[in-house]
Structure 1
Amino acid sequence: MEEIQRMQDNLLLIRRTIGWTAAEFGDQIGVTRQTINNIESGRNKLTKTQYIAMRSVIDAEIVKHPEETQMVKTLLDMLIDHPENYLKADYNELIEKANLMSPSILAGTATRETVSKEWMKAAGAIGAVVASTVAVPLAGTPIVGAVVGGWLAKAVKTTDKKKRDK
């Protein structure tokens, strides 16, 4: 599943954009800080189980704080789920901006909401954001299928296909 490799390749940026240290993220999914660092550096391969745990925790954070996490949601779409929907020049410019802006979240010099809003303005100016990625679900609406459905269904489908092929 290509998404797992793309998640591993971009995990550091995604984690920083959320504002979690490696230890905090590890605590969220039940692994150590070292495991997160090893996955980010490529020393360990990201497993499907870890991928599902990471995406679930990240999606929960997006649902819990939609006004603060538009950047994270868009980065997941760009980097993991649908990179083919973005022009290469736009993609590269947005990743460069994200890499410049996200460390300030982790350092505490800017809030996640402020950085997210500024980055989304830049993305809008570039015209690279797919409209569906910026839609924020309303509080209390059933969002499990909308937020989780695509990537989780794909991960489970891959497992089911492998079982059928045996």
Structure 2
Amino acid sequence: MSNKIKEREIQIERLQNNLSPIRKIAGWTAEVLGDKIGVTKQTISNLENKKTPMNFTQYIAIRSVLDYEISNNKENEVLPKVVALLLDCDDELDEADYSKVQDVVGTVAATAAGGTSTDKLDTVFDVLIKTLPFVVPIIGTIIGTSANWSKKLFK
């Protein structure tokens, strides 16, 4: 298998593994995300529960609506940080550290699902992420490169 195909599969798997918390932090139900990409809420549920594998087209569609949301909803300061950490920090985190980041994001997502406002969500995220000192130095550098996911994928 070529490196390009393997990298694509890793990126798709990363998004599928983190789809539920990212969706919740974006403030979307499964139905809303499904409407945005032209699938049913059951399809989103199946992806999140890993009943069906995410395909490349779904990956591109979801990343595109995430990019749009990040660009157009400046009030949600957590979403770009979470997307950058979970989807775009290729070599910055080892497996154990990545798992710790996922735990923090899961807590933030549960808080978001409970109806917490975006400004309070940002505070929760900042407090929790500071418990992971290895993340603080890299967060600023990866947020700026998050929009380059498609360039890496198609080069």
TM-score (normalised: structure 1)? 0.75
Superposed CA offset, 1:68-103 (max 9, x none): 13x222222222221421355543333222212312
Residues 6, 147 of structure 1: CA spacing in aligned structure 2 closer, same or farther, 3 A cutoff?
A: closer
**Any stretches of 5+ residues in structure 2 without a counterpart?**
1-7
Alignment-mate amino acid for residue 152 of structure 2: K
RMSD: 2.2
Task: Confirm or deny that 1:38 pairs with 2:36.
Answer: no
Q: Which moved more, 1:49-58 or 1:115-124?
A: 115-124
Letter in 1 for 2:141: S
Larger Rg: 1
Instruction: Count the aligned residue pairs.
Output: 144
Q: Which runs of 5+ in 1 are unaligned?
A: 136-145, 158-166
* Match among 132, 146, 157 for residue 141 of structure 2: 132
Matched position secondary structure for 1:85: coil
AA at the equivalent of 1:151: W
Q: Residues 19 and 34 from structure 1, CA distance in 2 versus in 1: closer, same or farther, beyond 3 angstroms?
A: same
In structure 2, relative to structure 1, the CA distance for the partners of 1:134 and 1:67 (3 Å cut) is farther
Q: Is the 8 A contact 1:78 1:85 kept in 2?
A: no
Query: 1:153 is aligned with what amino acid?
Result: K
Moved more, 40-49 or 114-123: 114-123
Q: Deviations over 1:28-64 (max 9, x none)?
A: 1111101101111111111111111111111111111
Where does 1:102-141 land on structure 2 (aligned, <5 Å)? 102-108=109-115, 110-127=116-133, 128-129=135-136, 130=138, 131-133=140-142
Q: Name the % identity.
A: 31
1:154 pairs with 2:152? yes
Query: So what's the TM-score if we normalise by structure 2?
Result: 0.79
| Amino acid across the alignment from 2:154 | V
Partners of 2:94 and 2:54 in 1: how far apart?
Answer: 27
